[in-house]
Amino acid sequence: MAAVVTFLRRLSTITPLKKGVLQRYPTCIRTMSGAVPQGVSERLWSLGKLNHVAIAVPNLENATALYRDVMGAKVSEVTPLPEHGVYTVFVELGNTKLELLHPLGEKSPIEGFLKKNAAGGIHHICIEVDNITEAVKQLTSSHIRALNPEPKIGAHGKPVVFLHPKDCNGVLLELEEA
């Protein structure tokens, strides 16, 4: 086991010429025993459950009716979130939620999405974290760009941060503090 720890300590100091796992994600290196190698910081946050999948919709009334009247789901009232430029409706599912998003105002990010995708579509996914401040700190140090580095209050009244889709495999990722 000592040889593994020594190997990982040496490995964690190597910076590959190309961007790779060790350069982008240095805090991911651990030993089999779970001990954190020297020079690698302990993760101060963790991912939780999937909170919701957000869907941009061109017609909020029709989309709400689809889930409520046709599919029999429990849906929330329409909630305007001017600081985010959206109207939201939450669709309750057994293990998560859908968030229906519709533009609010001319500078709405959903307006731009709907110009590119007139029929609407999946806009982002939201995953809970137990410490959003530490999550943002560690992710940005690992070259993951935050679209809003300072958390904003989201639709659930909790701090949220959006991560750039180019750094997250093409997915706009919202982190919400649990």
Domains of the chain, by residue range, sit at 1-42, 47-177
How does the average pLDDT of the chain come out, rounded?
Answer: 84
- Within the chain, residue ranges assigned H as helices are 2-13, 21-24, 60-65, 109-116, 132-141
pLDDT greater than 50 at residue 5: no
Per residue in 112-121, pLDDT (tens digit) is 999 999 999 9
Per residue in 134-152, pLDDT (tens digit) is 999 999 999 999 999 899 9
Residue 41: the pLDDT is: 60
Per residue in 15-44, pLDDT (tens digit) is 343 344 444 444 443 334 445 445 546 789
Question: What integer is the mean pLDDT of 65-83?
Answer: 97
Q: Does domain 47-177 have CATH number 3.10.180.10?
A: yes
Give the distance, in angstroms, between the CA of residue 174 and the centroid of all CA atoms in the same chain: 3
Tally the residues of the chain. 178
**Torsion sign (Cα): 60, 175, 83, 167:** negative
The pLDDT confidence band at residue 106, using thresholds 50, 70 and 90, is: confident
pLDDT greater than 70 at residue 168: yes
Residue 165 carries which DSSP code? G
Enclosing H/E stretch for 2: helix 2-13
Enclosing H/E stretch for 159: strand 159-163
